[in-house]
Chain A
Amino acid sequence: MTELSPDASGDMLRQTTARALRDLLTDAARAEIAGGAMPKALWSALEEFGLPYALLPEEAGGFGAPLAEALSLLSVAGERALPLPLADTMLARFLLAKAGVAAPPGMLTLAPGGEVVLDGRGRASGWAWSVPWGRHAAAVVIVSETVGGPVIFAAPQFALKVEPGVDIAGDPSDTIRFEAVATAPASFTALEARAAGAATRALMIAGALRAITAMTTQYAEERKQFGRAIGKFQAVQQNLAALAGQSASAAAAADLAAEAVAAWGAGLIPAVAAAKVRCGEAAGVGAAIAHQTHGAIGFTREHRLHHYTLRLSAWRDSYGREAEWARYLGAHLFAAGPEGLWPALTAL
């Protein structure tokens, strides 16, 4: 299903993915998605390439790369401001596999939040919100806490009542209702699943920041005012250095999150919390500098910067804003106490 050798290194995997996304994500495809259509051909091509299965073991269709490396493909997706639920499908498949539940074919998505009640036969009814691409997904995967412990289930599209909505980027972010869907016990908590979702956003933010750093630097070298490239002005240089710092710091935080998801241990929540906070802040500061440098042209939908600003804003919101994760991390550090603060930091 893929041209990659089983022992492909992370770098090679990322480069091949970057090329594939560059070729597939044409302006026409972007326009089709922005128009609200399900880009069937594009999604089929991603399936063909194998990306939605990247987090699975090789025998289940994965690339055979270590999990943290496979997760890093999401930063490549971020570099292209990918307006598709690739992360959601990858993660939904990963969590279903982790719980030993068979996954339906096609585009899947994961619900970042929802309310679920189980009937006497363990069937779930309830609703979920902010579901990326809920209207187009073959099934929505939900992890929920119940009295009997966490459960996981995939609510198929035919069982859903969908109220369409959009996120700040204008991408589908739907409310869904479902009744009497069969569940299975999950070996992980709903918070852990939410953290894994937050980690995917951190990785995509890091990729998008890398892209806008390069794009903005290039623009500053080309755009001339007062007879010279604006990148020659110290005020602009200082801003771009700050942007590069935000980008590098977000990348380091996102790598930490990827490693924490791969390890899936006691460090998962605090590490992802740190990463989502850092990447969310970096997204805000970074996008602001990119716009400041690009001037009026960057504030148009004609310029490609808007693809990035929109997704940075959406991913920043998705799976918990900075304050939500800062509170988890803060509570964790307070629980460690003054003498335990440093050991808690060095444990990550």
Chain B
Amino acid sequence: MASFAFPSPPLSPESEAFRAEIRAFLRKELADRAPIERAQSWNGVDAAFSRKLGERGWLGLTWPRRYGGHERSALERYVLLEELLAAGAPVGAHWIAERQSGPSLIRYGSEAQKLAILPRIAAGECFFCIGMSEADTGSDLASVRTRAVRTGEGWRVNGAKLWTTNAQHCQYMILLCRTGPIDPERRHAGLSQFLVDLSLPGIAIRPIANLAGERHFNEVAFVDALLPPDALLGGEGDGWAQVTGELAYERSGPERFLSSFTLLVELIRVLSPAPDERAQIAVGRLGAELITLRRMSRSVAGMLQAGADPALEAAMVKDLGALVEQAIPEVARDLIADGPPTQASRDFAAVLAYTSLHAPSFSLRGGTREILRGIIARGLGLR
């Protein structure tokens, strides 16, 4: 049975100095942003803001310098991410590229791919989306049907990706698709990843309205799209291993418990300066959850920094984090009674509506609750 150890987060004095610098920058930069904009958290897309972070050297913080990175520690990056999210900074444009696509390129990309793409991500000029899910492929990622066939000139891709967040704002996708035959005995074989330039002919992006009425996710259709030979990312047939390798990075970060944080800030604002005992207890309970999750998430960052593989712990952080993110709107709506509108109450109502309508996605995106608990059960030795 796995022990699910969460060692004490490492102390990092340089990160705390960095924290002060980040807070000063955000205070100035986000001064005019309304609560409802902050509430968008890592859904908020603002390419100009992403470029500003790039100019400051705050994207690709841990990457090698030769690829435009800054060779700082994973702990400093953790501090940067949590400060950006807690402040409600619009980080959505670059989020996937910086969190996931860049690190995948560093691990699996060719030198030419790295030199061509990574400095542009670090500059905040190049954004990525994740080409994994399809209409019949959600949790069961190995069932993807989009297929790339090798031709004389490269690869011809046919199929469609679905629920692709921010595809309409991105220059690139990392595409998971089938390059080999379906083998029922070895379901994870025959998959490969590609670095796809979304401006190529044969690729059509269609936005899809979500529950909240926003158009964040998309269908990305490939009709005889021709990718150059060097679009293959990593090894042919290695797609499954490469995809699962990303998950510890994807699942343990502060975005997995801070999605509703702006709502908690606004709740405290409307209930101040005289919260009753019921409000104090309710906010105290949420605070206890957030304090604990932050410690667990920082612990995972420390394990990643130390070169460990905390995939199980990451799944646990995401599972518990989604519960808190979903509890915050439930608690918040219960503490505020209907009354004559004020500016503060209107702001609060807008943030509450936004967060409530996004809450169902918190236990779906990045691995559903059931999948995560299945991973944890495997760690317990039950599967």
Point out residues on A near B: beta carbons under 8 Å. Answer: 213-214, 217, 220-221, 231-232, 234, 236-238, 240-242, 244-245, 247-249, 251-253, 255-256, 259, 270-271, 273-275, 277-278, 281, 322-323, 325-334, 337-339, 341-342, 345-346, 348
The answer for the CA separation of A255 and B377 in the assembled complex, in Å, is 24
Contacts A/B (CB < 8 Å), 17 sampled: A217-B380, A231-B382, A240-B377, A241-B319, A241-B374, A242-B373, A249-B296, A249-B316, A255-B6, A256-B292, A278-B292, A325-B288, A326-B284, A332-B284, A333-B268, A337-B269, A341-B264
Q: Is B382 a contact partner of A274 (Cβ separation < 8 A)?
A: no
Chain A residues whose CB sits within 8 angstroms of the CB of B292 once the complex forms: 249, 252-253, 256, 274-275, 278
Q: Is B8 a contact partner of A322 (Cβ separation < 8 A)?
A: no
Q: Is A244 a contact partner of B376 (Cβ separation < 8 A)?
A: yes
Count chain B CB atoms within 10 A of each CB in A247, A255, A337, A346 and give the residue with the most. Answer: A346
Pick the contact of B377: A238, A323, A334 (CB < 8 A). A238
The answer for the CA separation of A273 and B290 in the assembled complex, in Å, is 13
The answer for the CA separation of A244 and B316 in the assembled complex, in Å, is 9
Chain B residues whose CB sits within 8 angstroms of the CB of A278 once the complex forms: 288-289, 291-292
Least Cβ–Cβ distance between B323 and chain A, in angstroms: 9
Least Cβ–Cβ distance between B294 and chain A, in angstroms: 7
Chain B residues whose CB sits within 8 angstroms of the CB of A241 once the complex forms: 319, 372-374, 376-377, 380
The answer for the CA separation of A259 and B10 in the assembled complex, in Å, is 13
Complex: chain A residue closest to B79, CB-CB: A346
Chain A residues whose CB sits within 8 angstroms of the CB of B383 once the complex forms: 232, 237
Chain B residues whose CB sits within 8 angstroms of the CB of A322 once the complex forms: 285
Complex: chain B residue closest to A271, CB-CB: B291
Query: At the interface, yes or no: B279 with Cβ under 8 Å from chain A?
Result: yes
Question: Interface extent on B, as a size class?
Answer: 35 or more
Q: Is A330 a contact partner of B284 (Cβ separation < 8 A)?
A: yes
The answer for the CA separation of A332 and B288 in the assembled complex, in Å, is 12
Q: Is A327 a contact partner of B281 (Cβ separation < 8 A)?
A: yes
Q: Mark B358-383, 1 if CB is under 8 A from A, else 0.
A: 00000000000010111011011111
Complex: chain B residue closest to A322, CB-CB: B285
Within 8 A of A (CB), among B281-339: 281-285, 287-296, 299, 313, 316, 319-320
The answer for the CA separation of A220 and B381 in the assembled complex, in Å, is 11
Complex: chain B residue closest to A239, CB-CB: B373
Q: Is B19 a contact partner of A346 (Cβ separation < 8 A)?
A: yes
Chain B residues whose CB sits within 8 angstroms of the CB of A281 once the complex forms: 285, 288
Query: At the interface, yes or no: B266 with Cβ under 8 Å from chain A?
Result: yes
The answer for the CA separation of A255 and B280 in the assembled complex, in Å, is 24
The answer for the CA separation of A214 and B381 in the assembled complex, in Å, is 11
The answer for the CA separation of A234 and B139 in the assembled complex, in Å, is 15
| Contact of A237 with B281 at beta-carbon distance under 8 Å, contacts A248-B6, A274-B291 already known | no
Least Cβ–Cβ distance between B76 and chain A, in angstroms: 14
Looking at the complex, which of B45-53, B59-67, B199-207, B270-278 is the stretch in contact with chain A?
B270-278
Q: Is B296 a contact partner of A345 (Cβ separation < 8 A)?
A: no
Chain B residues whose CB sits within 8 angstroms of the CB of A327 once the complex forms: 277, 280-281, 284
Query: At the interface, yes or no: B149 with Cβ under 8 Å from chain A?
Result: no
Chain A residues whose CB sits within 8 angstroms of the CB of B1 once the complex forms: 214, 217
Q: Is A345 a contact partner of B287 (Cβ separation < 8 A)?
A: yes
The answer for the CA separation of A214 and B373 in the assembled complex, in Å, is 16
Q: Mark B122-145, 1 if CB is under 8 A from A, else 0.
A: 000000000000000000000000
| Contact of A345 with B284 at beta-carbon distance under 8 Å, contacts A247-B4, A330-B275 already known | no
The answer for the CA separation of A126 and B283 in the assembled complex, in Å, is 35
Least Cβ–Cβ distance between A54 and chain B, in angstroms: 19
Q: Is B382 a contact partner of A326 (Cβ separation < 8 A)?
A: no
Least Cβ–Cβ distance between B237 and chain A, in angstroms: 30
Least Cβ–Cβ distance between B266 and chain A, in angstroms: 7
Within 8 A of A (CB), among B75-131: 82, 86-87
| Contact of A274 with B376 at beta-carbon distance under 8 Å, contacts A217-B382, A231-B382, A323-B281 already known | no
Pick the contact of B281: A249, A251, A330 (CB < 8 A). A330
Q: Is B6 a contact partner of A237 (Cβ separation < 8 A)?
A: no
Query: At the interface, yes or no: B241 with Cβ under 8 Å from chain A?
Result: no
Least Cβ–Cβ distance between B121 and chain A, in angstroms: 27
Query: At the interface, yes or no: B34 with Cβ under 8 Å from chain A?
Result: no
Pick the contact of A237: B86, B265, B299, B373 (CB < 8 A). B373
- Nearest 6 pairs of A and B residues by beta carbon: A330-B284, A326-B284, A330-B280, A241-B373, A277-B288, A241-B376
| Contact of A249 with B287 at beta-carbon distance under 8 Å, contacts A241-B377, A255-B8, A327-B281 already known | no
Chain B residues whose CB sits within 8 angstroms of the CB of A337 once the complex forms: 268-269, 272
Least Cβ–Cβ distance between B77 and chain A, in angstroms: 15
Chain A residues whose CB sits within 8 angstroms of the CB of B370 once the complex forms: 238
Pick the contact of A251: B6, B289, B373, B376 (CB < 8 A). B6
The answer for the CA separation of A214 and B279 in the assembled complex, in Å, is 37
Q: Other CB < 8 Å A-B pairs besides A259-B8, A278-B292, A345-B290, 14 of them?
A: A213-B380, A217-B381, A217-B382, A221-B382, A237-B382, A241-B372, A244-B376, A247-B4, A252-B295, A277-B284, A278-B291, A323-B281, A329-B288, A330-B282
Chain B residues whose CB sits within 8 angstroms of the CB of A234 once the complex forms: 374
The answer for the CA separation of A338 and B235 in the assembled complex, in Å, is 49
Chain B residues whose CB sits within 8 angstroms of the CB of A339 once the complex forms: 265
Chain A residues whose CB sits within 8 angstroms of the CB of B293 once the complex forms: 249
Chain B residues whose CB sits within 8 angstroms of the CB of A214 once the complex forms: 1
Q: Is B269 a contact partner of A252 (Cβ separation < 8 A)?
A: no
The answer for the CA separation of A234 and B272 in the assembled complex, in Å, is 45
Chain A residues whose CB sits within 8 angstroms of the CB of B289 once the complex forms: 278
Q: Is A334 a contact partner of B268 (Cβ separation < 8 A)?
A: yes
The answer for the CA separation of A76 and B319 in the assembled complex, in Å, is 26
